[in-house]
C-alpha cells in the first residue's frame, strides 16, 4: 500500500542476561491500516520483538535493546512503556492476562486510562459490539470465562487504550479451531472498521495467513522470509522449516 509507515524496526537486537542475543537485527515495517503477522516456531524471537516495541524489556535486568524503532514518526529510544501506550501502542501479552477476580466490565474500567466518562462508555460499547459474548458473561468473574472469552477480554482491554497499533501475542494459544476462526475474524473486522494496524504474532501460521495481508517469518532471531499472505500460503518451506513442521 501507499499509506504512511506507522512502525519501523531497523536492525533491532535484543540481548537477555547481557549475553544472549535473542533477536539479531530484525527490520520490519507496518503501514497505517495494515494487518501483518510475525510467524515462527517456539523461541524464534517473536515475543521479544513485540516487547522491544512496547518497551517491556528492562535494561536494569540486563535486557538491552539496540537498533532503531520508529512509531508514528518518532524514535522510541528508551521511552518507558506507559508513554508508548499513550502514543498508541497496545500489546496483548501471551496467555491472556485479565483480572480473574473482576467482572469483564471491571476489567475494561481498569484498562481505561482517561477521565472522560462519556468516552469510556463509547469505548466499552465498541468492545461489547465486537465481542457480544462479553455482554452475556457480564456478571461472571473473568476467571470463570472460557479461554476464548478471556482472550476476547484481553483484546478488549487493549482497545480501551485507543491504540493505533494493536499487537497480539499468540491469541490462538489453547483455543479450539472454531474459536480461533471467530477471534481472528473479529480482529480483521476491527482492523478494517477502525483502520487500526495489527501485528499478530503466531505459531499457527495457517490460521494467521488466512487473515493478514502480509507476513514475516522469524527463525532464530532473524527475519528469514517475508511476503504477501497469498504468496507465503503457497510456500512449502514455511511449514517444513520454520514453523516446526506438521
By the criterion CB under 6 A, which residues form the site for ligand ATP? 16-17, 20, 22, 40, 42-48, 94
Name which of 161 and 204 has its Cβ closer to ligand ATP.
204
Cross-strand partners of 7:
30, 71
For ligand ATP, the closer CB: 172 or 213 = 172
In whole angstroms, how close is the CB of 42 to ligand ATP at the nearest point? 4
- The distance of closest approach from Cβ of residue 52 to ligand ATP in the complex, given in angstroms and rounded to an integer, is 9
- Residue closer to ligand ATP, measured from CB, 160 or 200: 200
CB-nearer residue toward ligand ATP: 9 or 160: 9
**Quick check: 127 and 159 in contact, CB under 8 A?**
yes
Phi, psi values for residue 226, rounded to 5°: -155, 155
State which residue, 58 or 231, has the beta carbon closest to ligand ATP. Answer: 58
C-beta of 104: minimal distance to ligand ATP in Å? 26
Comparing CB distances to ligand ATP, the nearer of 194 and 203 is 203
CB of 140 to ligand ATP, least distance (A): 29
For residues 94 and 194, which CB has a smaller minimum distance to ligand ATP in the complex?
94
How far CA 149 is from CA of 85, 155, 246, in Å, comes to: 23, 10, 27
Rounded Cα distance between 7 and 29, Å, is: 6
User: What does the block give as the cell for 171?
Assistant: 491469541
Closest approach of ligand ATP to the CB of residue 127, in Å:
26
Give the contacts of 144 (CB within 8 A, at least 6 positions apart).
Answer: none
Tell me how far CA of residue 118 lies from CA of 92, 105, 114, 143, 194, in angstroms.
25, 15, 10, 28, 19
Distance, in Å, from the CA atom of 11 to the CA atom of 21, rounded to the nearest integer, reads: 13
Q: CB 17 → ligand ATP: shortest distance, Å? A: 5
Q: Can you tell me the distance from the alpha carbon of 38 to that of 214, in angstroms, rounded to the nearest whole number?
A: 9
Rg, the chain, Cα only: 18
Q: What is the rounded distance in angstroms from the CA atom of residue 219 to the CA atom of residue 239?
A: 12
Instruction: Provide, rounded to whole angstroms, the least separation between the CB of residue 158 and ligand ATP.
Output: 18
Amino acid at each position: 500500500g501507499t499509506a504512511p509507515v506507522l512502525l519501523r524496526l531497523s536492525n533491532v537486537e535484543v540481548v537477555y542476561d547481557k549475553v544472549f542475543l535473542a533477536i539479531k537485527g530484525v527490520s520490519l515495517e507496518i503501514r497505517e491500516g495494515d494487518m501483518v503477522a510475525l510467524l515462527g516456531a517456539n523461541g524464534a524471537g517473536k515475543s521479544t520483538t513485540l516487547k522491544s516495541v512496547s518497551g517491556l524489556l528492562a535494561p536494569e535486568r540486563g535486557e538491552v535493546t539496540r537498533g532503531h524503532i520508529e512509531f508514528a514518526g518518532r524514535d522510541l529510544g528508551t521511552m518507558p512503556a506507559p508513554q508508548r501506550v499513550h502514543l498508541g501502542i497496545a500489546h496483548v501479552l501471551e496467555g491472556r492476562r485479565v483480572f480473574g477476580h473482576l467482572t469483564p466490565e471491571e476489567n475494561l474500567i481498569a484498562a481505561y486510562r482517561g477521565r472522560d466518562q462519556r468516552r469510556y462508555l463509547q469505548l466499552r460499547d465498541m468492545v461489547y459490539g465486537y465481542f457480544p459474548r462479553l455482554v452475556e458473561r457480564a456478571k461472571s468473574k473473568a476467571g470463570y470465562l472460557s479461554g476464548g472469552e478471556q482472550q476476547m477480554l484481553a483484546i478488549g482491554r487493549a482497545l480501551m487504550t485507543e491504540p493505533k497499533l494493536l499487537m497480539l501475542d499468540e491469541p490462538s494459544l489453547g483455543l479450539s479451531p472454531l474459536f480461533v476462526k471467530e477471534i481472528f475474524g473479529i480482529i480483521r473486522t476491527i482492523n478494517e472498521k477502525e483502520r487500526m494496524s495489527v501485528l499478530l504474532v503466531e505459531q499457527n501460521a495457517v490460521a494467521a495467513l488466512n487473515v493478514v495481508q502480509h507476513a514475516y517469518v522469524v527463525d532464530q532471531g532473524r527475519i528469514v522470509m517475508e511476503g504477501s499472505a497469498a504468496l507465503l500460503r503457497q510456500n512449502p518451506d514455511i511449514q517444513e522449516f520454520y514453523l516446526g513442521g506438521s
